[in-house]
């Protein structure tokens, strides 16, 4: 039997600086140490992520974050078998910080550097602590985050095919941008979902476009909310009740769209497993509605539960894909290179 490998993961594609150490024995990922330095407080000041600001933060936090992950794992860097790093997609100046750090570690420790595509990381996030021998493929993944909304089919452990994506805004972006219209702080997803719990989801009827397709579009929702809020604020400020009702109706439009499209995709692609990943998967109403639909309409499909602690950006998921690439002896480049447009 081959010895288990220790992989360091690094993630700096957007607004979290993250590092993690994972062990992999060929069928199960085990998290030894994970550290995430969030920049949310900084980006709240500008109501969104400014790439250069994010990159500057990554520069100051990357080394302490790697050190913390190693300390949590109780190992020294000399014990590492490889270093995996998010190489794309993402913000170029932000990606470059993680990639530089990974290349430097690879060179000084004389270990391989493994470039990882960020979205594949979001899929693998839900396989942590799962026995991979029991995971039935093909798997349909729906990744809903601040930058992405994609249906991906995984037919082998490193065999991915994109089936659909957003043609404009991502689901998380729809939450964030409509929250801004309601003057709620960044990031909007958690704010909208808090207010939504107090409001009526049928108060306003917002659009659910492209229902018959695998692709998504959320830009129309933002425009529709903008018009509605303009109309409501002609005479006076929004009341607390109106804000709650708007939040509930926005969340309902996004969730209803996602659930109905997932139902169509499951009927069309006939997979054995489904999984929901990405930051928006932190939304409990979305998770419950998807689980209910799958249990009722596709009882033969296993719903691989979202690992809530690894739904938003982290390095555990990046280390997991890296470990799999190392295990499968995928051909690796000498150095990783930031690739902001890297598509599956």
Q: Which of the listed partners (Zn ion, ligand KG4, none) does 312 bind, with a CB threshold of 5 to 8 Å by partner kind? A: ligand KG4
Query: Is residue 172 within the footprint of ligand KG4 (CB under 6 A)?
Result: yes
Question: What part of residues 111-150 is at the interface with ligand KG4 (CB under 6 A)?
Answer: 145-147
Give every CB contact of residue 222 below 8 A, 6+ residues apart in sequence. Answer: 169, 174, 177, 178, 181
Q: How many CB atoms lie under 10 A from the CB of residue 318? A: 38
Nearer to Zn ion, 145 or 262 (CB): 145
Q: Which of the listed partners (ligand KG4, Zn ion, none) does 224 bind, with a CB threshold of 5 to 8 Å by partner kind? A: none
Nearer to ligand KG4, 82 or 148 (CB): 148
230 and 285 Cβ atoms separated by less than 8 Å: no
Nearer to Zn ion, 160 or 206 (CB): 160
17 and 65 Cβ atoms separated by less than 8 Å: yes
Query: Is residue 16 within the footprint of Zn ion (CB under 5 A)?
Result: no
Give min distance, CB of 279 to ligand KG4, in A. Answer: 2
Cα–Cα distance, 203 to 188 (Å, whole number): 20
Nearest to 204 by CA among 184, 181, 227, 186: 227
Query: Is residue 65 within the footprint of ligand KG4 (CB under 6 A)?
Result: no
Nearer to ligand KG4, 153 or 287 (CB): 287
Query: Is residue 120 within the footprint of Zn ion (CB under 5 A)?
Result: no
Q: Which two tokens stand for residue 214?
A: 């695998």
Q: How many CB atoms lie under 10 A from the CB of residue 52? A: 10
Binding mask 297-326 for Zn ion (x = CB under 5 A): ----------------x-------------
Cα–Cα distance, 160 to 170 (Å, whole number): 20
Give min distance, CB of 315 to ligand KG4, in A. Answer: 12
Give min distance, CB of 253 to ligand KG4, in A. Answer: 13
Nearer to ligand KG4, 115 or 189 (CB): 189
Helix (H) or strand (E) holding 140: strand 139-144
> Starting at the edge strand that comes first in sequence, how are the strands of the sheet with 82-88 ordered?
29-38, 16-24, 5-11, 82-88, 113-117
Cα–Cα distance, 206 to 229 (Å, whole number): 12
Cα–Cα distance, 114 to 328 (Å, whole number): 12
Please choose, out of 43-51, 227-235, 261-269, 279-287, the segment that lies near ligand KG4 by the rule CB under 6 A.
Answer: 279-287
Query: Is residue 249 within the footprint of ligand KG4 (CB under 6 A)?
Result: no
Give every CB contact of residue 62 below 8 A, 6+ residues apart in sequence. Answer: 10, 12, 17, 19, 97, 98, 101
Q: Which two tokens stand for residue 315?
A: 């390095």
Query: Is residue 61 within the footprint of Zn ion (CB under 5 A)?
Result: no
Question: What part of residues 178-207 is at the interface with ligand KG4 (CB under 6 A)?
Answer: 187-190, 193
Binding mask 3-42 for ligand KG4 (x = CB under 6 A): -----------x----------------------------
Question: What part of residues 132-171 is at the interface with Zn ion (CB under 5 A)?
Answer: 145
Q: Which of the listed partners (Zn ion, ligand KG4, none) does 275 bind, with a CB threshold of 5 to 8 Å by partner kind? A: none
Nearer to ligand KG4, 124 or 175 (CB): 175
43 three-state secondary structure: helix
Binding site for Zn ion (CB under 5 A): 145, 313
Binding site for ligand KG4 (CB under 6 A): 14, 145-147, 172, 175-176, 187-190, 193, 278-280, 282-283, 312-313
């Amino acid at each position: 039997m081959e010895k288990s490998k220790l992989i360091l993961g690094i993630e700096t594609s957007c607004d979290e600086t993250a590092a993690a150490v994972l062990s992999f024995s060929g069928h199960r990922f085990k998290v030894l140490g994970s550290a995430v330095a969030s920049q949310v407080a900084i980006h709240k000041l500008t109501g969104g992520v400014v790439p250069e600001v994010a990159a500057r933060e990554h520069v100051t936090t990357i080394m302490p974050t790697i050190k913390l992950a190693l300390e949590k794992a109780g190992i020294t860097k000399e014990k590492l078998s490889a270093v995996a790093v998010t190489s794309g997609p993402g913000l170029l100046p932000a990606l470059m910080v993680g990639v530089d750090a990974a290349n430097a570690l690879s060179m000084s420790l004389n270990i391989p550097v493994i470039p990882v595509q960020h979205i594949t990381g979001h899929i693998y996030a839900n396989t942590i602590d799962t026995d991979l021998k029991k995971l039935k493929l093909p798997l349909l993944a729906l990744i809903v985050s601040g930058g992405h909304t994609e249906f991906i089919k995984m037919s082998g452990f490193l065999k991915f095919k994109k089936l659909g994506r957003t043609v404009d805004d991502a689901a998380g972006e729809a939450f964030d941008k409509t929250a801004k219209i309601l003057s709620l702080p960044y990031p909007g997803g958690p704010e909208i979902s808090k207010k939504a719990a107090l409001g009526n989801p049928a108060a306003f009827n917002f659009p659910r476009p492209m229902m018959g397709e695998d692709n998504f579009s959320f830009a129309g929702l933002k425009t529709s909310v903008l018009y509605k809020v303009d109309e409501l604020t002609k005479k006076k400020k929004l009341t607390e009740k109106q804000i709650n009702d708007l939040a509930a109706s926005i969340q309902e439009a996004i969730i209803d769209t996602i659930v109905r499209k997932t139902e169509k995709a499951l009927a069309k692609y006939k997979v054995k497993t489904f999984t929901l990943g990405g930051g928006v998967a932190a939304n409990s109403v979305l998770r419950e509605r998807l689980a209910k639909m799958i249990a009722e309409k596709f009882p033969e499909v296993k719903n691989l539960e979202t690992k809530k602690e690894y739904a938003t950006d982290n390095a555990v998921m990046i280390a997991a894909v890296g470990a799999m690439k190392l295990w499968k002896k995928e051909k690796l480049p000498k150095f990783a290179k930031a690739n902001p447009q890297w598509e599956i």
